[in-house]
């Protein structure tokens, strides 16, 4: 009777094997729970960083858009080379280091307190590599802007040495630009329309540097949220409102070029002919054939 009671008591306890098995199962469940929570937290953190980068890239692009739409070109019959656009092509994709330069008005990209904001000034946007400049605030590199006035400059003026760049953001690791090819539109004498087939160029050279393109494609590449990921690309196409002024001699100022015959047949804008009030009459002047 005593042996049977002791035997039953020994069978009702937990053996060492059962205890180890329970601990192992609890460890597995805890590990799975931890790694699931860690993966969810990492994904949430990565998504937040991507959203912040996109918001930041949109802000930087908006600054560039306002600067390009503030481009300035004089209303002259011939191209004015000092006001043309310059594009330096330095690669494609995330490793691109293009440089874009144009003349503009206003405070976009330079700030309202800038001494050049009230006058026409040239802007150059480019990417500085980390460690290239030892100036305070430029050590980490990024997308930078240089600005200088275009009049009353000394003969030995060199913007590379005389102008200190201003850093827009340190998150941009690549900058690629393309410009709209104007040739097809200039053959017709019109500015681009929705029916035109768009062709983009990586270079803007020769006589075109005296003029402005009708549109510019900007591509920013931002550092990825994780090291093994590819840089984040953000793209924007910007139309330049005053670009047709730079093509007036080719008949692309928003309409077809005038000829001598159209000038003779079109009525005066003042609403009268050669004898209209307010127009000087010159009876001895020879008429054009």
pLDDT tens sequence across 231-257: 889 999 999 999 989 988 877 654 434
Share of the chain above pLDDT 70, in %: 78
Average pLDDT rounded to a whole number, residues 130-146: 85
Query: Residue 261: what pLDDT?
Result: 37
Residues found in the chain? 289
Pairing assessment for the beta strands 200-201 and 215-222 based on DSSP bridges: unpaired
Answer whether 173's CB lies under 8 Å from 60's CB.
no
Whether this prediction's pTM lies above 0.95 is answered by no
Residues 6+ apart with CB under 8 A from 260: 288
**Three-state SS at 127:** strand
Structure tokens at 264: 């003779």
Query: Confidence class of residue 259 from pLDDT cuts 50, 70 and 90?
Result: very low
pLDDT (tens digit per residue) in 212-221: 999 999 999 9
Query: Residue 12: what pLDDT?
Result: 61
Query: Residue 185: what pLDDT?
Result: 61
* Alpha carbons 259 and 289: distance in angstroms, whole number: 14
Structure tokens at 68: 């390009």
* Alpha carbons 61 and 172: distance in angstroms, whole number: 11
Within 13 Å and on the Cβ side, how many CA atoms surround 9? 6
Give CA angle at 114 (110, 120), nearest 5°.
75
* CA 168 remoteness from chain centre: 12
* Higher-pLDDT residue of 269, 159: 159
Domain boundaries, the chain: 49-257
């Amino acid at each position: 009777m005593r042996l049977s009671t002791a035997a039953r008591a020994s069978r009702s306890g937990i053996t060492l094997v059962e205890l180890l098995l329970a601990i192992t199962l609890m460890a597995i469940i805890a590990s799975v729970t931890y790694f699931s929570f860690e993966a969810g937290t990492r994904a949430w953190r990565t998504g937040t960083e991507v959203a912040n980068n996109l918001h930041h890239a949109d802000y930087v692009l908006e600054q560039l858009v306002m600067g390009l739409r503030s481009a300035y070109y004089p209303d002259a019959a011939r191209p004015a080379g000092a006001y043309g656009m310059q594009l330096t092509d330095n690669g494609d994709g995330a490793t691109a280091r293009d440089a874009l330069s144009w003349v503009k008005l206003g405070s976009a990209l330079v700030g309202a307190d800038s001494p050049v904001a009230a006058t026409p000034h040239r802007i150059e946007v480019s990417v500085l590599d980390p460690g290239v400049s030892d100036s305070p605030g430029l050590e980490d590199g990024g997308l930078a802007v240089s600005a200088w006035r275009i009049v009353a400059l000394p003969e030995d003026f060199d913007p590379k040495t005389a102008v200190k760049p201003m850093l827009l953001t340190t998150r941009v690791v690549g900058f690629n630009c393309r410009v709209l090819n104007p040739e097809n539109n200039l053959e017709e004498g019109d500015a681009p329309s929705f029916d035109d087939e768009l062709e983009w160029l990586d270079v803007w050279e020769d006589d075109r540097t005296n003029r402005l393109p009708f549109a510019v494609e900007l591509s920013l590449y931002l550092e990825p949220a994780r090291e093994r990921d590819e840089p984040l690309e953000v793209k924007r196409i910007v139309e330049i409102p005053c670009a047709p002024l730079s093509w007036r001699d080719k008949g692309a100022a928003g309409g077809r070029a005038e000829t001598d015959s159209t000038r003779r047949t079109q009525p005066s804008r003042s609403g009268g002919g050669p004898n209209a009030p307010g127009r000087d009459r010159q009876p001895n002047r020879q008429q054009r054939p």
